[in-house]
Structure 1
Amino acid sequence: MTETTSILHESINKLFNEIVNKKDLDQAETGIWADNIWKAVTIAGYLEAWDEDNQESNQISLIIGQASGWHALPIPLVETMAARHLSNKYLNLCPDGPLTIANPYLIENSSLKNSQLTGIAKNIPFARHANQLVTVVDEKFVLAPCNITQESRNIAGESRDNVSWENSEVIVGPKVTRDIIMETGAIIRSSQICGALHHALQKSTTYATERKQFGRQLGKFQSIQNYLAKMASLTAMAEAALSNTAQMQSPSSIAAAKICASEAAGEVASLSHRIHGAIGFTHEYSLHHLTRRLLSWREEFGAETWWQNKLGKIVIKTGSENLWKMITSEN
């Protein structure tokens, strides 16, 4: 971590500690837009952090993504960063306001004729709050309006809405594959998962240290120590894989990051609740804001099985003679 990224890491977490609280998270689940948080990140300049396509910007975007996951941010910060990043890269423009990104595999009955788009996109993150979204339709990069047809939420209470177009005017970019959306989505979700993993681990460690059972600290029991050790190793594995994407941003490194993050998400969510016991399931205790997001984010933009299949195809295409070189140069 460079001096610049270290300063950013400290400043963004300081800001989020000041502006994000449990009341904001609870209200967001009822559909209330966290305008104070959005204004704060806009003023801080975090929306533009990934506009450029270079290693430093990649690293900064991961730091912001992890902080977003740690604090369970109830706004489309990482989605807006990703949409601006892709729009700048493929359209040479950076739209203003909240934006989002749509999984192209969840778009149905689509048709793109010139700049007229027809189709239905499902489970779009924060679509009701976004001005526009980016996706890929008919192998073309598209910046499209968010015409909401159905509002819904994931198990974490985050908005996941359906959008439809009927000969809607869109901005069409160059020919691309759906992989660019999936890979970008995997990066932002992996970074958020890593942040939430660290926070769940910290909360579990603190609880095991402070809580006493049968006259002993909870953390003195070997089974609890095993849980914490496994959580720590899974978190470290996910973060190591994520860090590699800042340098490489290759399909294989992104696949590895999402595989590790998604696998860790399910395990850490389960183990943290085992350590906390009944209190971890109460609404008043904030652990659920992390674990419900972990269980939701692990599936978005490809679950671990989807990326395992993707990575397997990359390895087969690489060939046995180049496999060792791929492993040692990218991991």
Structure 2
Amino acid sequence: MINTEGMVAETAAKIFTDLCGREIPHQAEAGAYPQELWDALVENGLLLAWVSEDNGGFAAEPDEIFGAIWASVQAASPVPFAETLLANHMLDQAGLAPASGSASFAFSGADIPFGGQVEQIVLFDAKQGTISLFDNPADERRHVDSLSPDGATRFDPAGKAALASAKTNFTGRAFEALILTVRAVQMASAIEAALNLSIAHVSEREQFGRPLSKFQAIQHQLAVAASESAAATMAATQAASACARNGNDPAKAWHEAVIAKVQISHSVEAVTVPFHQVHGAMGYTQEYDLHHYTRRLWAWRDALGNEHHWSRLLGAELAVASPDQIWKGVTTGEWIAS
């Protein structure tokens, strides 16, 4: 599940409410990093929440971690909160100390979210079965185009000395499950936030003497978007629950994570089109809040492989499974072995 009421999630939500007002994402895009927000997250130990007590963390349950990530997206937070949480968790799985500052992850050649901002990069080498920590000097960051306001870079470890490196028992499949689950939670949260913004807008704005929400066409568009939002939240919740159930071996949650990524990625166009349409021209202005959610959704849809990529991988596995195996996976969560 996605626990938004536990101590970790509630602490995160309060920090984002207090220190990430609607002006913060706009200021961040203009180059003003929200240092006060980041310092509050550090001082409250939230960046170590997904780290074991042996490594200085407090080993929070995954459902609370997902609740905290949910809160960060609701606030359109422009800091690498989820990325640092996940990077530190990856280091912890190899018995390594957490990053000394902000961090992101490099995996399977994918673009690195927040790569232009973070101080360190955690690299997972699936072939070698190793986790390594690298510095990310500002003058060596290779930026790539990104729809997300968070930006992205590429990272090439060739010729670079790792600050720390160790073997891990986690497989590439396990890390795929973790990363896809985090992204699914982020995407579902962004869809819900944009939906709420759209509902508020059509309730407040009037046309021809009555609120936009009274027009049948508007109602229909938002009804479709609300259905997609509910489906996205359910898919993310299923993936989060599977990840929590299989905390010692996230690879067992791979199918739920992939299904969530596919489902929510399919929802992105179905929701972002009506969100922008019901906002009219305002939905496309830089000063308004909507794009902080929709641009991230468009970027996250393609990050780590879009819905077609993961559908092919999932379909290839299910094609060689028996009907009984598929039914057992759907009804019990015990999927076929890879």
- Give TM-score, length-normalised by structure 2: 0.84
Paired position in structure 2 for 1:33: 33
Of the candidates 102, 107, 110, which is equivalent to residue 103 of structure 1?
A: 107
Q: List structure 1 segments (4+ residues) > 6 angstroms apart after TM superposition.
A: 1-4, 53-56
In 2, the alpha carbon distance for the partners of 1:97 and 1:310 equals 35
2:285 equivalent to 1:285 = no
In 2, the alpha carbon distance for the partners of 1:299 and 1:4 equals 27
Of the candidates 185, 191, 206, which is equivalent to residue 185 of structure 2?
A: 191
Deviations 1:50-95 (A, max 9, x none): 2259996210111111112111111111011111112111235333
1:243-262 correspondence runs (5 A): 243-249=237-243, 250-262=253-265
Mapped contact 2:2–2:64 kept (Cα < 8 A): no
Of the candidates 110, 127, 136, which is equivalent to residue 138 of structure 1?
A: 127
1:217-256 correspondence runs (5 A): 217-249=211-243, 250-256=253-259
Which structure: greater strand fraction?
Answer: 1
More divergent stretch after superposition (50-59 vs 244-253): 50-59
**What is the DSSP-based 3-state SS (H/G/I as helix, E as strand, rest coil) of the residue aligned with 1:190?**
helix
In 2, the alpha carbon distance for the partners of 1:78 and 1:305 equals 25
Give, in angstroms, the shift of residue 149 of structure 1. 3.9
In 2, the alpha carbon distance for the partners of 1:283 and 1:4 equals 30
Amino acid at match of 1:100: S
Mapped contact 2:8–2:46 kept (Cα < 8 A): no
Amino acid at match of 2:156: S
Paired position in structure 2 for 1:91: 95
- Give TM-score, length-normalised by structure 1: 0.86
Amino acid at match of 1:208: V
More divergent stretch after superposition (83-92 vs 205-214): 83-92
**What is the DSSP-based 3-state SS (H/G/I as helix, E as strand, rest coil) of the residue aligned with 2:156?**
strand
Mapped contact 2:141–2:155 kept (Cα < 8 A): yes
Paired position in structure 2 for 1:120: none
Deviations 1:190-238 (A, max 9, x none): 1111111111111111111111112222111121111111111111111
More divergent stretch after superposition (287-296 vs 43-52): 43-52
Deviations 1:230-284 (A, max 9, x none): 1111111111111112322211111111112222222221110011111111112
CA gap of 1:330–1:56, structure 2 versus 1, over 3 A, is farther
Paired position in structure 2 for 1:49: 49
Mapped contact 2:195–2:226 kept (Cα < 8 A): yes
CA gap of 1:12–1:271, structure 2 versus 1, over 3 A, is same
In 1, the alpha carbon distance for the partners of 2:4 and 2:174 equals 28
Amino acid at match of 1:104: S
CA gap of 1:318–1:83, structure 2 versus 1, over 3 A, is farther
Paired position in structure 2 for 1:166: 158
Give, in angstroms, the shift of residue 9 of structure 1. 4.1
Mapped contact 1:5–1:59 kept (Cα < 8 A): no
Aligned residues: 315
2:306 equivalent to 1:303 = yes
CA gap of 1:8–1:92, structure 2 versus 1, over 3 A, is closer
Deviations 1:123-175 (A, max 9, x none): 31122323232322534223131353423452232121122333322314236
Mapped contact 1:209–1:217 kept (Cα < 8 A): yes
Paired position in structure 2 for 1:17: 17
Paired position in structure 1 for 2:248: none
Give, in angstroms, the shift of residue 35 of structure 1. 1.5
Of the candidates 101, 107, 114, which is equivalent to residue 126 of structure 1?
A: 114
**What is the DSSP-based 3-state SS (H/G/I as helix, E as strand, rest coil) of the residue aligned with 1:266?**
helix
Amino acid at match of 1:240: M
In 1, the alpha carbon distance for the partners of 2:275 and 2:114 equals 27
**What is the DSSP-based 3-state SS (H/G/I as helix, E as strand, rest coil) of the residue aligned with 1:168?**
coil
In 2, the alpha carbon distance for the partners of 1:138 and 1:204 equals 45
In 2, the alpha carbon distance for the partners of 1:270 and 1:214 equals 23
Deviations 1:8-67 (A, max 9, x none): 544432321211134321232244432111111112222122225999621011111111
Give, in angstroms, the shift of residue 317 of structure 1. 4.4
In 2, the alpha carbon distance for the partners of 1:52 and 1:155 equals 34
Amino acid at match of 1:84: N
CA gap of 1:99–1:176, structure 2 versus 1, over 3 A, is same
More divergent stretch after superposition (167-176 vs 57-66): 167-176
Aligned-residue Cα RMSD (Å) equals 2.6
Task: Give structure 2 stretches of 5+ with no counterpart.
Answer: 244-252
Paired position in structure 1 for 2:173: 179
2:270 equivalent to 1:270 = no
Mapped contact 1:136–1:177 kept (Cα < 8 A): no
Of the candidates 311, 315, 320, which is equivalent to residue 323 of structure 2?
A: 320
